[in-house]
Amino acid sequence: MKKNNSIKICLAQTNPKVGDLKKNIENHIEIISGAKDKGANLVVFPELSLTGYFLKDSVYDLGININTDEAAILEPIYKAAKDLDISVIAGFVEKDADFNFYNSSCCISKGKLINVHRKVYLPTYGMFEELRYFKPGDGFGVFDMDGVKVSVLTCEDAWHLSSSYIAVNKGAHIIIVNSASPARGITAGLNKFNSMNMWEELLSVIAFYYKSYVIYVNRVGFEDGIGFSGGSCILNPLGEVEKKLDYLEEEVVSADINLDLLNNERFKTPLIRDENLNLTLKEIEGIINKGTKK
Amino acid sequence: MKKELPKIDEYNFPLIYKHLSNFIKIEVSKARVNSVVLGLSGGIDSAVACYLASNALGKENVAALIMPYESSSGSSMDDALKVVKTLGISHYVIDITKQINEYFTKEKAVAAPDDIRVRKGNKMARERMSILYDYSYKLNSLVLGTSNKSELLLGYGTLYGDMASALNPIGDIYKTQIYQLAEHLDIPKSIITKAPSADLWEGQSDEGELGFTYETADGIMYLLIDKMYKPEVVVSLGYDENLVNKIYDKIKKSQYKRRMPLIAKVSERTINIDFRYLRDWA
């Protein structure tokens, strides 16, 4: 493995304290410093890692407009990223100039904000009520992080296979999935919750068929009886799990990923090269037009 | 389409055990206390809850209250003490006979005997709750709930009695699964094998009173609730129509027991209607 073609990613499987930005920021800084000591280039935190997940009305209190003075509270993270020459992906409640709130993930690299992903697919069924509070994002961006093309999908985004389809065809080599996924459902003979199993199958499909690295970072802990399942992991473009964190426990692990494997896999199985975007476009236009004619 | 209630077995038990232990540990610490207090009846539900709590918090942080009434069976007491002894937790025995009988001496003359039996049962459950909450203050502990999913759904419990608690680790686990959990937790055999009973009067049996077995009811409730199948679909899968309807009816009629009291909306922001925060808010 060429050392200069690998990057070290730290998976921060945390248990955010609900509603406590200050405490969560302190915890982030501590983890970022520790990751730097281990040589990490990027630290990935779970969805809404700075605020907690089932926020309900406290969304209103936690929203931050990152283009105003409100962003000052995030200053310690900017500073840590700059001082330690490292990139950080963290989740927060974003507020825009028109007072819309988003379930967002920022990427702060070396002291600069280089990307914000606003979660597009906001689950509002069963135990989830995101659309009650958040406005959906309007796209899946790909951004350059130290020469590596990265896209962030937040939890439910990844359950829509069109999201990773868009990301990878836009040039993503690494798909980062940050989540706050509750553990739920049991099956006889299965040594994990059903929800964990569904995630692992999904992530493996994305990694293998979109020939990409997939970095999954899920939180742990409980909010009002609902427990988050952890099980963060790294999958390579063969769909294999390269690194896997514990279920249900806080854990911070750094691991190298070898970007040469992308080259190798995409040459041998050029699914992305052969993707027929025009055909997809034509079909989707057909679907949409048919829908509107009704 | 036919699905069976999933079994808690040697494969999924370790993670369920860890999950429930974490639940107790984390939710108790959020209340800024270290310990729980629970009523130990000698039955399987409170035994399972007690084992889970002892594992999660350590034996020194679990206190069991054994609160017999004069008609409580002696074997219930023996079984409760077995749990206490095996786990090495602290316990208190508080006989509730005197206060219950004192209250009902005046009531007995004017009410039908069957009514009195039910009312006495409810009163006992609420007396125990009242003592548990007093000990919650005294021991700076949270009250651990011990109602399982089957009885919560069927409404087979006393509102503000045995249904009251600060947190409940087994409320999403059906009675049939409680037995499986108990096997893996190594709970004393005598507790696992005896017939389920609220032990509110001599010879009382859950299944006798309900008119069906938990095993049958759990299979049906799993389809109605967890799988969200309509009753007619459950019947089409081969279950007895009368029983399915009876169970669905019980679930609907006891919905009030599972909710907070209704509040008349007057203001622009009303508790639990549009004033919405987690209990973990603070």
Residues 6 or more apart whose Cβ sits within 8 Å of residue A261: A213, A236, A237, A238
CB atoms within 10 A of CB A205: 15
CA distance A54 to chain B (A): 7
Domain assignment of residue B172, yes or no: yes
- Burial of residue A37 (CB within 10 Å: 0-12, 13-18, 19+) is exposed
Domain assignment of residue B142, yes or no: yes
* Residue from the list A190, A221, A222 with its beta carbon closest to the beta carbon of B12: A190
Q: Give the per-residue pLDDT at A103.
A: 98
Q: Which residue of A has its CA nearest to B170?
A: A225
Query: A186 vs B16: CB contact, 8 Å cut-off?
Result: yes
Give A221's contacts in chain B (Cβ within 8 Å): 26
Q: How many structural domains is chain B composed of?
A: 1
A270 in helix, strand or coil?
Answer: coil
Domain assignment of residue B246, yes or no: no
Q: What number is the average pLDDT over the span B138-145? A: 98
> Predicted confidence band at A294 (pLDDT cuts at 50, 70, 90)?
low
Domain assignment of residue B269, yes or no: no
With a pLDDT cut of 90, the percent of chain A lying above it is: 96
Give A224's contacts in chain B (Cβ within 8 Å): 278-280
Instruction: Please check the confidence at residue A258 and state whether its pLDDT lies above 50.
Output: yes
Q: Which residue of B has its CA nearest to A15?
A: B26
CATH code of B102's domain:
3.40.50.620
Domain assignment of residue B266, yes or no: no
Is the ipTM above a cut-off of 0.85?
yes
Whether the pTM exceeds 0.90: the reply is yes
Q: Which domain holds residue B174?
A: 13-211
Q: Which residue of A has its CA nearest to B226?
A: A185
Domains of chain A from N-terminus onward: 3-288 (3.60.110.10)
Chain centre distance of CA A71: 21
With a pLDDT cut of 70, the percent of chain A lying above it is: 97
* Residue from the list A187, A224, A227 with its beta carbon closest to the beta carbon of B6: A187
* Residue from the list A186, A192, A223 with its beta carbon closest to the beta carbon of B6: A186
Give A246's contacts in chain B (Cβ within 8 Å): none
CA distance A187 to chain B (A): 5
Query: A56 vs B22: CB contact, 8 Å cut-off?
Result: no
Give B15's contacts in chain A (Cβ within 8 Å): 191-193, 247-248
Domain assignment of residue B6, yes or no: no
CA distance B276 to chain A (A): 6
Query: B23 vs A192: CB contact, 8 Å cut-off?
Result: no
- Burial of residue B51 (CB within 10 Å: 0-12, 13-18, 19+) is buried
Query: A18 vs B276: CB contact, 8 Å cut-off?
Result: no
Domain assignment of residue B223, yes or no: no
| pLDDT tens-digit map of A119-167 | 999 999 999 999 999 999 999 999 999 899 999 999 999 999 999 999 9
Domain assignment of residue B60, yes or no: yes
Q: What CA–CA distance (Å, rounded) separates B84 from B59?
A: 10
Instruction: Please check the confidence at residue A293 and state whether its pLDDT lies above 80.
Output: no
Q: Give the per-residue pLDDT at A290.
A: 86
Give A128's contacts in chain B (Cβ within 8 Å): none
